């Protein structure tokens, strides 16, 4: 050999090495496009700190329990949850829906111990998290949270107690029987 074959092999190898960074960049772009929704959700929902929604609900319930309205208000991220006052004193929140008014009073929504669940994340739309916490009766109350202004905020509390006269049925066990009509015969039992 005259050495020219060795030089051509070296120059061909250098050309192949030059394409490797280009192939890596192309593979990265393809992977980013394929996983775009998951990557967006990871950063939008700050999933590196998966316990943040649970901490928010815990801080909210602690603030409600201690009567710290300013702290509780700072953790609410939706105008539909309005402060509830009785006798000039803040006692929780209420929301008005098409079905009626629901009250979330501090003596009803804060169970012992305050121990919210691990969050369930949804990447639909802008994304959200669902955290449940026990109320005073030991029932699970779901809290929906969204990232607003760079931190997790409570945007919905599911449950609550229907306000009397708000158009919603009273909770089980609190319904009153209709008054008897004078002269009417009672309905037969068992039918």
Sketch the domain layout of the chain as residue ranges.
Answer: 7-44, 52-162
Tell me what pLDDT residue 60 has.
94
The predicted structure's pLDDT at residue 10: 61
Residue 189 is predicted with a pLDDT of 59
Structure tokens at 64: 């409600």
* Alpha-carbon dihedral angle through residues 10, 11, 13, 16, given to the nearest 10 degrees: 170
- If the chain, 191 residues long, is cut into consecutive pieces of 10 residues, what is the mean pLDDT of each piece? 53 72 76 60 67 90 92 90 91 87 88 87 78 91 88 88 68 48 56 47
Contact assessment for residue 106 and residue 94, using Cβ atoms and an 8 Å cutoff: no
Q: What is the CATH number of domain 52-162?
A: 3.10.450
């Amino acid at each position: 050999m005259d050495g020219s074959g060795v030089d051509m092999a070296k120059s061909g190898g250098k050309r192949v090495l030059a394409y490797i960074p280009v192939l890596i960049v192309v593979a990265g772009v393809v992977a980013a496009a394929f996983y775009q929704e998951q990557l967006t959700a990871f950063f939008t929902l700050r999933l590196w700190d998966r316990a943040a929604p649970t901490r928010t609900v815990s801080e909210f319930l602690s603030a409600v329990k201690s009567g710290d309205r300013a702290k509780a208000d700072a953790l609410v991220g939706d105008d539909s949850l309005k402060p509830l006052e009785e006798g000039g004193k803040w006692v929780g929140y209420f929301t008005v829906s098409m079905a009626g008014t629901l009250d979330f009073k501090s003596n009803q929504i804060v169970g012992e111990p305050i121990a919210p669940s691990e969050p369930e994340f949804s990447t639909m739309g802008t994304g959200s998290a669902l955290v449940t916490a026990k109320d005073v009766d030991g029932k699970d109350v779901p809290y929906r949270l969204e990232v607003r202004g760079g931190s997790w905020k409570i945007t919905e509390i599911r449950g609550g107690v229907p306000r009397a006269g708000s158009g919603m049925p009273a909770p089980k066990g609190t319904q009153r029987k209709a008054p008897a009509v004078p002269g009417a015969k009672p309905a037969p039992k068992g039918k």
